[in-house]
A and B are shown apart, each in its own frame.
Chain A
Amino acid sequence: MSIHVSPRALTAVASWWRPVAGRLDRVASGVFILPAVVVILAFSIFPLITSLYVSLSRLGFSQGGVELKFVGFDNYRKLLFGIDRPHFLGVAGPLTPLGIAALIAIYGLFAFLLYRYARGATRTVGGLVGRVVATAIAGALAWLIVNTILTSGRPGTLVVTIVYVGVDVAVQYLLGLGLALLVVQHLPGRRFFRVVFLLPMMITPVGVAYLFRMLADTSKGPLYPLWAHFGLTDVSWVTNPWGARLAVMIGDVWQWTPFIFIVLLAAIETLPHELTEAAVVDGATRWQVFWRITFPQILPATTTVVLIRIIEGFKIIDLPNVLTNGGPGTATESLTLHAYTIWRALDIGGSAAVAYMLLIVVTFVGIAYVNLFRNRATAVA
């Protein structure tokens, strides 16, 4: 099929279109980026600011509807000092010798790091102030964690979330790195392993949660013979706080190890072989090759992928909500789930306050991590 257009008409259209097209071309840089900027502004930045206001107010019922009443820092005070303190921060028990030892070790490490920086050549006033503040916050968090976990106390949602993130990311990293090193050897059938190891990442966290609920069932789950052997069939993981938390962490490790695996695998595969080959020719052992050559080279990828997992890990909600319903009590609640349960109880201000505390913690951990590890790693690489 062809369309005949008279040359005159074409010229007419072109003469009308050219200025418009020219103008469009000139603003192309704006056209390309503005949609994304507008979406992020409208649905991330603006809600974030509004959320701050919501966190400073309380939902009240007046005649003819609801309204937000400004209450200042009441919601935060409630979380840190008031009735929500046991839920959010937990209950501190009397310190045990183990706890005291842990605290001394942690504070000693902080003091050493701070001392080394203060005596180092690269110190600046701003850097020192920043580090003192960061150390103070980290010290407070360490005190909180030790006092609620290593004692007879009860950890709150803040501590539980930090434990989830710390344990999960560490285990995922070790497993992911080990698997990547195994698969990168040129064994027959490695494509099969690559595909299989990727699968858990694709599965809905909600599905993973049910899956592990089924597996953790001690009376009709597949591990029944194992429980029967140890006489544990009447025990339910889900009624023991640490058992329930362990179940959540196992589910998270199962789901997200693939992510670290695939990134590290890609990183190792893109490394040039010359260095490794030279080292092998010179008689280096596999262990030396890994620690001296491979590991330093994948350090940038390592720090990035760990940062991503830390950030994403703090957002965990699906697993605890479905796997244990946050229970027993509030033992497995993460901060996001905490915010959701408060929201469901119509305390919108309190919910926004929890969300903001989460934001503060994520930002703090992220910045501290980048300053401690990432900059150093990329500077080396």
Chain B
Amino acid sequence: MSYIDILKEAEDQVTPGMSACQGCGGELILRTVLKIAGKNTIVGIPPGCMAGAGVVGWNYANGLKIPVHIPLLDNTASFLTGLSQMYERKGRGEVNMIGIAGDGATADCGFQSLSAAAERNEKMLYVCYDNEGYMNTGYQRSSTTTKGSRTSTTPIGAVINGKQQQQKYLPLIMSMHGLTYCATASPSHMADFVKKVEKGLAASKKGFAYLHVFSPCPTGWAYSPEKAIEVARNAVRSNMFPLWEMDEDGYHMNVRNKTPISVKEFIQGIGKFKNLTEEDINSIQQIADQRFHILMRLAEQGME
């Protein structure tokens, strides 16, 4: 079945009233993952944009049609560990255990519990929607924020301009945990994304599956909402966000750019990058090239 048919036929698991911003990448990611997962699912969504948009419920109501819990910002993977093991124990290992968390809850304060759950190969699918910052609290810097970005805690100042450090590249770190499945995805490449959610869910019945998804954020990054998918596509086309996966056969590069666009082209029209110097742009380009080179080497290794 083509991904279009899959998405057309699957039931949306979000109840009316969800209040994400226009053009939110996180919302699209959440709806897509839960559509594919279906009813027999329990989901943990820690504090962040998706929780703030109401999908974890409000007052006495649920925000989803499936059971949901808002774990702590830093314990999604360990909370789901206990739940997943308990379901396995009850003979209900077929229930999907899914975490959907932002980059702060994943790469920063949630990293310790995430890393440990991945190392123990706990049975769950963990999806990070990476919008490169703490968007729900007003866009503060995280470890996945791209260098030079203007954020609330890395403002453009008279002396210091934006974030001073390069981004931490989490998916590759996750892939070194001995987990069952690890992949990157982008809402601009839906066929690839849908396939990876399906593979991730299947892998989550055997061990830890990790999906790192690019999540463009018009509100925080300062560009028009209708450009969200274009921004996501350019991230892939520029090799800023390569699409790859690691399964039992090793690493695979899923999208190969014959003629990648430059980082300079990718950042065009994105407000948070407005004050980048030529030097900044060159250093980001260098990191993107290096990272892509490493990933290609890993993927080639897998092909031997």
The yes or no verdict on A and B being binding partners is: no
